[in-house]
């Protein structure tokens, strides 16, 4: 009996997605729980698993946009898994060739499947494997820069970039085979102009969503940005003095982001309107603190939510932020990880940004921008001293928040960073 594989509902506001890569091919036997394909939506990428065991037949090619509930494959659960029959290795005295293990399927002997390996013979890491699958790269043609020639994530991304602009990283055509056996061009396939000066390719669902959200925020809210600066000396000293003990006790390093999340919570408590939002003609006041932390990935910016940030310790925050960063870059964030935030903190300083005007994460009313720490001469008690300074930027919805409230918020953040004892330290 053929069991239909349908696109599942992955969130209330998501109506479609793209089958970015098939992990199994037509004719493969799959077990219940095996990852069949990756569905990329405008919010997250998620692996869809088989609900039953059987032989798979795919109905849509990689790169095709599909609707929620659409049938994309069938699994014939009447067919059983082929039994592997190991054969003894036989070495030919004449030519010295070592016979490979084989398996028997329906009376025919076929080569045993092997895991794809990188140039140094090691299996690819999950992150590299994902890029290789999605970009249809040949690992044997990628030069590894890792230890022993191992292919790193950066190597795979560089190969994918060369391929998108007509490079020779992957000589195979970026085409897929439909269920009828005909070749079909992937909707995401890059198209290069005749003179090679222009490459056109479709934006990913995530990038399209980011673009739509940014335009919506600009067109809907009255965005204004106010600035301040803070002296990072006290936080840097506290962090340096506590780092070894903190790492040994909790198993994670103490970073700057946890300080700014804690400082933001204190500022939101002092100026509650910044933690609210406008909904129609109503003002929604949030009495909880679910803070978004902007994370940059190769596919675009995502903002996972730290729930109840006011109730979490510094160690809890550092662990959660680290986990979000890893899962965001591997495309493993879930829909619920990205929804429901009340305020956002973004750190452009990790990329070297000195100052910027962050755009609201709609429908939130405020976003705090952190920036690069720079040593600058400052007047301290009538003397000039060089201090590690950071510019802070608060973008806010001026329909809801007045300038006085925005400035008060930033000053509160500044005070908490310059005197960390005002924070609930729990090292």
Active-site residue list:
398, 402
Instruction: Give the number of C-alpha atoms closer than 13 A to the C-alpha of residue 44, restricted to the C-beta side.
Output: 22
CA pair distance 365, 358, nearest whole angstrom: 12
* The residue to which tokens 């910027």 are assigned: 356
- For the record, the structure tokens of 352 come out as 């070297």
Q: Name every residue whose Cβ is closer than 8 Å to that of residue 231 and which is 6 or more positions away in sequence.
A: 378, 387, 388, 389, 417, 418
User: Among 35, 37, 45, which Cα is nearest to 10's?
Assistant: 45
Distance (Å, rounded) from C-alpha 256 to C-alpha 231?
13
Q: Contact at 8 Å (CB) between 77 and 3?
A: yes
Cβ atoms of 309 and 261 within 8 Å: the answer is yes
Per-residue DSSP letters for 16-69? EEEEEEESS-TT-EE-TT-EEEEEE-SS-EEEEEPSS-EEEEE-S-TT-EEETT
């Amino acid at each position: 009996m053929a069991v239909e594989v349908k696109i599942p509902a992955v969130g209330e506001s998501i109506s479609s997605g793209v089958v970015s890569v098939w992990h199994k091919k037509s004719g493969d036997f799959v077990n219940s729980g095996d990852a069949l394909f990756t569905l990329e939506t405008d919010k997250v990428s998620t692996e869809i698993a088989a609900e039953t065991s059987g032989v798979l037949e795919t109905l849509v090619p990689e790169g095709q946009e599909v609707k929620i509930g659409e049938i994309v494959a069938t699994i014939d659960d009447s067919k059983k898994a082929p039994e592997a029959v190991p054969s003894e290795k036989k070495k030919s005295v004449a030519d010295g060739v070592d016979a490979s293990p084989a398996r028997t399927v329906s009376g025919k002997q076929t080569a045993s499947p092997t895991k794809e390996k990188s140039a140094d013979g090691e299996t690819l890491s999950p992150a590299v494997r994902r890029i290789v699958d999605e970009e249809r790269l040949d690992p044997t043609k990628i030069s590894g820069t890792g230890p022993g020639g191992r292919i790193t994530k950066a190597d795979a991304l560089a190969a994918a970039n060369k391929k998108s602009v007509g490079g020779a990283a992957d000589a195979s055509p970026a085409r897929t085979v439909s269920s009828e056996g005909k070749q079909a061009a992937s909707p995401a396939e890059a198209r290069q102009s005749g003179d090679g000066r222009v490459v056109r390719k479709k934006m990913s669902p995530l990038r399209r969503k980011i673009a739509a959200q940014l335009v919506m925020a600009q067109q809907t809210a009255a965005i204004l940005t106010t600035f301040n600066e803070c002296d990072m000396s006290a936080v840097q000293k506290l962090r340096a003095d506590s780092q070894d003990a903190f790492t040994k006790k909790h198993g994670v390093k103490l970073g700057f982001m946890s300080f700014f999340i804690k400082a933001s919570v204190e500022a939101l408590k002092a100026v509650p309107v910044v933690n609210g939002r406008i909904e129609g003609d109503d003002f929604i006041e949030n009495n909880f603190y679910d803070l978004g932390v902007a994370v940059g990935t190769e596919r675009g910016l995502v903002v996972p939510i730290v729930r109840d940030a006011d109730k979490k310790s510094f160690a809890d925050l550092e662990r959660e932020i680290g986990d979000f960063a890893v899962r965001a870059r591997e495309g493993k964030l879930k829909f619920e990880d990205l929804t429901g935030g009340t305020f956002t903190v973004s750190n452009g300083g990790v990329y070297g940004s000195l100052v910027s005007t962050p755009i609201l994460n709609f429908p939130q009313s405020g976003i705090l921008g952190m920036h690069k720490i720079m040593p600058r001469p400052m007047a301290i008690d009538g003397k000039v001293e060089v201090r590690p300074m950071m510019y802070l930027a608060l973008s806010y919805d001026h329909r809801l928040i007045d300038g006085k409230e925005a400035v008060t918020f930033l000053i509160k953040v500044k005070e908490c960073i310059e005197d960390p004892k005002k924070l609930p330290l729990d090292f």
